[in-house]
């Protein structure tokens, strides 16, 4: 059994698969490192206290919404050229974001205005960064044989979470030794090295015969199709409530940890979600595999919602760690079944189209979570911090209730 699995690992994956996933690991280290400190950096270093969450939310909205469109560039120019373009945007973008917190950047931000400058460079970085997902996921699909493709996606997902677990810790080391603005500079340097790695080692995957190539016309017709499906869009909007909660780990949590709990190494606590997912996703998936998808998602939603009550009820490091870990348990319970359920909602001949929009709740959740984070921080952080987390719990439980109502309505419509 073990020998057979090792043989599949050796024969089922091409060298391009391993190179692409190695690039993805280091790209995730750079992304999650910058993501861990971004709102804290914008508020406390750049001086945009009132809208740091909003700006970070816009950044991640663009990053997660545009991959549907970005796939067209992959089909037109190829994986290698698109990856080089992506890492170039990241290299320049991260540097320019870091420049906003440096003395050298004061002349530029003074003329343009800090908010305008930051919004511009965040959008630049996000637009280029949106190319990464169709490149890596597409490479995994093209460079794995049919019998190991599921394993290939598992390796990809594991490396994404590994980047989410290690990236913030590296960011903390850089922040404490050099300054928070240099976290962005290190992400820029990492992106430059990824350009070099792509040029030297990455080779274009083979295109399969008969494979459909995406065009802008096809993408926009798919958008009309998806956005016109009321049932599907209602589900995605309800599900975005989960991501409104998730993004608070990066938008609100750092301020609570440093200002209320007086724990300066906030990046360590941000990694609890990723480490918990790494260790629990496989056993939890096995545990709930016989549940209906809607049941698993509802239970996961409920667990994630109640986790914030723990953080709000006891202002201590241990309760913050426990709360984020329980949130991750809820995430591990619902995440695998989410994609299964999306597939079941799609018309039989349009599953691929609908699956392409599965990241939409992440994008919607991000942009709404950003404004929410600013409001929570400015309203409650200094006066009643527990209300920040009780509010999140309320949003999560409301989304859970809406999902239950949605399921009843959908079930009746099928009868």
Residue 3 lies in a domain: no
Q: Do residues 168 and 56 share a domain?
A: yes
Length of the chain in residues, anyone?
415
209, part of any domain: no
Together in a domain, 244 and 285: yes
Q: CA 130 to CA 132: how far, in whole Å? A: 6
Domain boundary among 172, 202, 232: 202
**Residue 196 sits in the same domain as residue 227:** no
Question: Quick one: 35 and 95 in the same domain?
Answer: yes
Distance of CA 206 to the CA centre of its chain: 28
Q: What is the pLDDT along the chain (415 residues), one digit of tens a residue?
A: 455 555 555 556 778 888 988 999 999 999 999 999 999 999 999 999 999 999 999 999 999 998 878 878 887 888 899 999 999 999 999 999 999 999 888 888 888 999 999 999 999 999 988 888 888 877 887 777 766 766 777 788 888 889 999 999 999 999 999 999 999 999 999 999 999 999 999 888 876 555 566 777 877 888 888 888 888 899 999 999 999 999 999 999 999 999 999 999 999 999 999 999 999 888 888 888 888 888 889 999 999 999 999 999 999 999 999 999 999 999 999 887 887 788 777 776 666 677 778 888 999 999 999 999 999 999 999 999 999 999 999 999 999 999 889 888 876 666 4
C-beta neighbour count of 103 within 10 angstroms: 8
How many angstroms separate the CA atoms of 291 and 111, rounded? 58
The answer to whether the beta carbons of residues 275 and 329 sit under 8 Å apart is: no
Query: Using only C-alpha atoms, what is the Rg of the chain?
Result: 21
Q: Is there a domain that residue 68 lies in?
A: yes
Cα angle 394, 63, 94; round to 5: 115
Determine, yes or no, domain membership for 4. no
Cut 0.75: pTM above it: yes
Provide the pLDDT for residue 124.
95
Q: Which residues pair with 144 in a beta bridge?
A: 13
What is d(CA 406, CA 415) in angstroms, rounded to the nearest whole number? 15
Torsion of CA 389, 268, 64, 78, to 10 degrees: -170
Choose the final residue of a domain: 175, 202, 229.
202
255 domain-assigned:
yes
179 shares its domain with 34: yes
Residues 143 and 253 placed together within one structural domain of the fold: no
Mark whether 285 and 406 lie in a shared domain. yes
Statement to judge: residues 29 and 141 lie in one domain: yes
- Which of residues 146, 179, 202 is at a domain's end? 202
Q: How far apart are CA 345 and CA 167, in angstroms?
A: 35
Query: For residues 54-70, b (16+ Cβ closer than 10 Å) or e, as one string?
Result: bbbbbbbbbbbbbbbbb
Local structure of residue 144 (DSSP, 8 states): B
Q: Is residue 258 part of a domain?
A: yes
33 vs 163: CA distance, rounded Å: 8
Domain residues for 364?
215-415
Residues 278, 402 within the same domain: yes
Please name the helix (run of DSSP H) or strand (run of DSSP E) that holds residue 116, with its range, or none.
Answer: helix 114-129
Residue 148 counted as domain residue: yes
CA distance 399 to 391: 12
**Cα→Cα distances 136→19, 74, 85, 127, 159, Å:** 10, 10, 13, 16, 12
On whether residue 210 sits in a domain, the answer given is: no
Same-domain status, 231 and 151: no
Residues 82 and 165 in one domain: yes
Structural domains in the chain (count):
2
CATH for 312: 1.20.1250.20
My answer on whether 239 and 156 are in the same domain is no
């Amino acid at each position: 059994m073990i020998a057979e699995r090792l043989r599949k690992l050796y024969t089922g994956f091409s060298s391009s698969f391993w190179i692409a996933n190695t690039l993805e690991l280091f790209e995730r280290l750079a992304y999650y490192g910058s993501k861990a400190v971004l709102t804290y950096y914008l508020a406390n270093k750049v001086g945009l206290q009132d809208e740091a969450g909003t700006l970070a939310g816009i950044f991640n909205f663009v990053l997660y919404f545009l991959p549907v469109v970005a796939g067209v560039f992959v089909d037109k120019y190829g994986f290698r050229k698109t990856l080089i373009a992506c890492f170039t945007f990241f290299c320049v973008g991260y540097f320019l974001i870091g420049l906003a917190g440096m003395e050298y950047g004061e002349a530029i931000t003074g003329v343009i205005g800090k908010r305008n400058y930051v919004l511009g460079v965040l959008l630049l970085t996000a637009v280029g960064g949106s190319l990464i997902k169709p490149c890596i996921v597409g490479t995994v699909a093209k460079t794995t044989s049919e019998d190991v493709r599921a394993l290939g996606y598992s390796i990809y997902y594991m490396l994404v979470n590994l980047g989410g677990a290690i990236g913030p810790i590296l960011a903390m080391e850089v922040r404490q030794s050099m300054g928070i603005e240099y976290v962005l500079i290190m992400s820029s340097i990492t992106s430059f090295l990824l350009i070099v790695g792509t040029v030297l080692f990455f080779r274009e995957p083979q295109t399969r015969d008969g494979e459909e190539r995406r065009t802008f016309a096809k993408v926009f017709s798919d958008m009309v199709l998806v956005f016109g499906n009321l049932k599907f869009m209602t589900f995605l909007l309800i599900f975005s409530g989960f991501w409104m909660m998730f993004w608070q780990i990066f938008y609100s949590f750092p301020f609570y940890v440093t200002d209320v709990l007086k724990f300066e190494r906030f990046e360590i606590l941000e990694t609890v979600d990723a480490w918990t997912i790494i260790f629990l996703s496989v056993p939890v998936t096995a545990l709930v595999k016989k549940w209906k998808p809607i049941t698993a998602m509802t239970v996961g939603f409920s667990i994630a919602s109640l986790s914030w009550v723990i953080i709000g009820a006891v202002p201590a490091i241990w309760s913050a760690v426990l709360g984020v870990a329980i949130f991750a348990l809820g995430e591990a319970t619902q995440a695998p079944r989410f994609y299964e359920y999306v597939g079941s909602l799609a018309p039989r001949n349009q599953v691929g189209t609908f699956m392409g929009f599965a990241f939409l709740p992440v994008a919607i959740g991000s942009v709404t979570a950003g404004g929410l984070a600013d409001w929570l921080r400015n309203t409650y952080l200094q006066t009643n911090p527990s209300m920040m987390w009780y509010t999140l719990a309320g949003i999560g439980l409301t989304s859970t209730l809406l999902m239950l109502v949605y399921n009843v309505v959908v079930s009746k419509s099928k009868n």
